[in-house]
């Protein structure tokens, strides 16, 4: 009866020496196959919904950023058009001034681009 526990101990020691010497162990066992329950389906659906909410929030933030940039560009264009309109109005006033005084001003004092217009205007009259 005493020899049996020693034999088991010796066998365990032999296996331990073999593992240490060769570095080999038994391959891990497969986990037992679990039965799928309705609760597992609920958890999986919750995971899908969490991913879907996250992706939709990301999409909405991206869309909001794009819309805000579009609005910003729109108002920037409006401001640019307003400035260009004022500049065109001022240019038209200056041009009408110079065309109105063509007969009273020496030709060398007039801007070069308006000289041709003044000549064309005189030819028409």
Outline where 28-111 has alpha helix (H). Answer: 38-100
% of the chain exceeding 90 in pLDDT:
45
Angle 27-31-14 (CA atoms, 0-180°, nearest 5)? 30
- Measure the CA–CA gap between 55 and 59, rounded to whole angstroms: 6
Confirm whether 18 is domain-assigned.
no
71: left (phi over 0), alpha (psi -120 to 50) or beta: alpha
Q: What domain range is 70 assigned to? A: 37-106
Confirm whether 7 is domain-assigned.
no
Is the per-residue pLDDT at 124 higher than 80?
Answer: no
- Measure the CA–CA gap between 120 and 7, rounded to whole angstroms: 125
Quote the number of domains for the chain.
1
- Residue 118 has a pLDDT of 65
- Measure the CA–CA gap between 82 and 43, rounded to whole angstroms: 59
pLDDT digits (tens, 9 = 90+) for 29-81: 788 888 899 999 999 999 999 999 999 999 999 999 999 999 999 999 999 99
Q: Is the pTM of this model over 0.75?
A: no
């Amino acid at each position: 009866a005493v020899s049996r526990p020693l034999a088991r101990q010796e066998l365990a020691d032999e296996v331990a020496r073999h593992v240490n010497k060769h570095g080999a162990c038994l391959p891990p066992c497969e986990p037992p196959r679990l039965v799928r329950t309705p609760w597992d389906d609920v958890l999986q659906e919750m995971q899908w919904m969490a991913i879907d909410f996250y992706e939709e929030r990301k999409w909405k933030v991206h869309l909001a950023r794009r819309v805000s940039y579009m609005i910003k560009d729109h108002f920037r264009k409006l401001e640019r058009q307003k400035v260009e309109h004022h500049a065109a109005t001022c240019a038209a006033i200056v041009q009408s001034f110079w065309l109105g005084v063509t007969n009273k001003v020496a030709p060398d004092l007039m801007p070069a681009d308006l000289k041709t217009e003044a000549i064309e205007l005189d030819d028409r009259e």
